[in-house]
Amino acid sequence: MDPLHNELDPNSLGARDLKSLLHPSTNLGQIAAEGPVVQARAEGVYVYDEDGRQVLEGMAGLWCTAIGFGEDELADVAREQMKKLSYAHLFGGKTNEASIALAEKILEMVPMPASRVFFGLSGSDANDTQIKLMWYYHNLIGKPERKKIISRIQGYHGTTVAAGSLTGLAPFHAHFDLPIPNILHTDSPHYYRLAEDGETEDQFTDRLAANLDAMIQAEGPDTVAAFIAEPVMGAGGVVVPPDGYYEKMQAVLDRYGIFFIDDEVITGFGRTGQPFGAQTFDIRPTTMSIAKALSSAYLPISGVIVPEFMVDAFRAASPEVGNFAHGFTYSGHPVCSAVALRNLELIEERGVFDHAARMSVPFQERLRRLGDHPLVGNTRGVGLIGAFELVADKQTKKPFDKAVAAGAHLMQRAFEAGLVVRALGDSIAICPPLVISETQIDELFSKIDIALAQTAEHVVRAA
Ligand SMILES: Cc1ncc(COP(=O)(O)O)c(C=O)c1O
């Protein structure tokens, strides 16, 4: 029995939650003791609790609500599509206008030689699809030994069996018997934490590219199918790689004909100041995963974008293999597709990419200024995503003792001040809806200032 059961009104949402839900990515002991945080409604960049208390959603939910909450137009489109064709699938050659129109729109937007879009429901299933397509393609072209996928330590690509294996964060593997075979992890490009003493950014990225090369050599270049990366690591702590990193990594991959899977689940659709992270960081993707801002999270939908040469191989094999035997009941769901399409149109009509790029200037400026605070060892960010890292000693970069829980404390104080941020250890992530205004950016950072001041008192008490 959860300890809170007896204290809470049994009809309250908190009590009912504790008796009914198994929460994802949640400390189950803590929620049992403290109860859940109930969200009642949301509008624009703000969420509200049951008592109407307003909180600025500085994380756009889970890095996803690009256009903000409560858009009537998207509700209207969902309603119309539900009345017209509430469900249709793409199996066995069936199709529907909403899926086609969305795929056309995506192909128009992505900065890569793109041929087709395969729809799913989540970033995880998109990345599972990526792995399966890499395996399928190499089997079909007679290179069945090319099976390994190189991901990165600290990368986050989801939590299903395969995507969870790509994720390079220990808690997502421990006790789940992951990773599966054929998934490798190379270095994280976290310069602040992982550079050696005196190492310049250039030397650091040279070393990482050399390590990638050595890994490929050790594994056997003909056994490696693809490398997967988020242009900016999100859940791993908002890791923005140093200039030149992707150019050097991509040169190594090109040397061995290894594909680049570009996981744009967070960075896609305006987050980094350009439409896609690939543009901000000069990445040349072979394939791409998209989700989150694709529909601004109004409905679940993801996509895997594939080039012509892969589709050609799939098509050419059909006399022999029969069906392309992969897909989901909800691949190309017409309601999700219609809503995602309208979301992308609204983003275009309202100039949201340009707005986000403009807002990134005051956002990044305020973020950098946090670096003056005695508790902040590092700030990093690009576009409208960023993080600052709390440290016990700025000179030595010494982290706080785990027991101090500095990051968790700051997150809680920020929430009390009316702001959602996310503590990834002692790195505090910020990723507001792309429609945030300059005044709201001021509000966001004023609340962080309050939370930082309170955290400074906390760490002294906890010392
Ligand atoms: C870069 C990246 N890839 C994949 C995923 C997994 O997406 P989902 O939670 O929709 O499965 C996430 C989720 O945060 C992500 O940040």
Q: Are 295 and 339 in contact (CB under 8 A)?
A: yes
CA of 63, closest atom in ligand 1 = 14
160 Cβ inside 6 Å of ligand 1: no
- Output the residue whose Cα is nearest ligand 1's atom 3: 157
Rounded to the nearest angstrom, the distance between the alpha carbon of 369 and the centre of ligand 1 is 29
Claim to verify: residue 455 and residue 436 sit in the same structural domain: yes
Confidence of residue 4 (pLDDT cuts 50, 70, 90): low
Total domain count, the chain: 2
263 Cβ inside 6 Å of ligand 1: yes
Residue 210, in any domain of the structure: yes
State pLDDT tens for residues 96-141. Answer: 999 999 999 999 999 999 999 999 999 999 999 999 999 999 999 9
- Domain termination site, one of 291, 322, 349: 349
Claim to verify: residue 184 and residue 254 sit in the same structural domain: yes
Residue 162, in any domain of the structure: yes
- Domain termination site, one of 302, 326, 349: 349
Neighbour count for residue 23 (Cβ, 10 Å): 11
120 Cβ inside 6 Å of ligand 1: no
Confidence of residue 2 (pLDDT cuts 50, 70, 90): low
Range(s) of the domain holding residue 425: 39-67+352-462
Claim to verify: residue 122 and residue 268 sit in the same structural domain: yes
State pLDDT tens for residues 403-414. Answer: 999 999 999 999
Rounded to the nearest angstrom, the distance between the alpha carbon of 265 and the centre of ligand 1 is 6
CA atoms within 13 A on the CB side of 190: 22
How far is residue 190's CA from residue 386's CA, in Å, rounded to a whole number?
13
- Output the residue whose Cα is nearest ligand 1's atom 13: 158
Claim to verify: residue 187 and residue 335 sit in the same structural domain: yes
State pLDDT tens for residues 213-245. Answer: 999 999 999 999 999 999 999 999 999 999 999
Mean pLDDT in residue range 248-265? 98
Residue 7, in any domain of the structure: no
Residue 5, in any domain of the structure: no
pTM of the full structure: 0.97
Residue 362, in any domain of the structure: yes
Q: Are 366 and 339 in contact (CB under 8 A)?
A: no
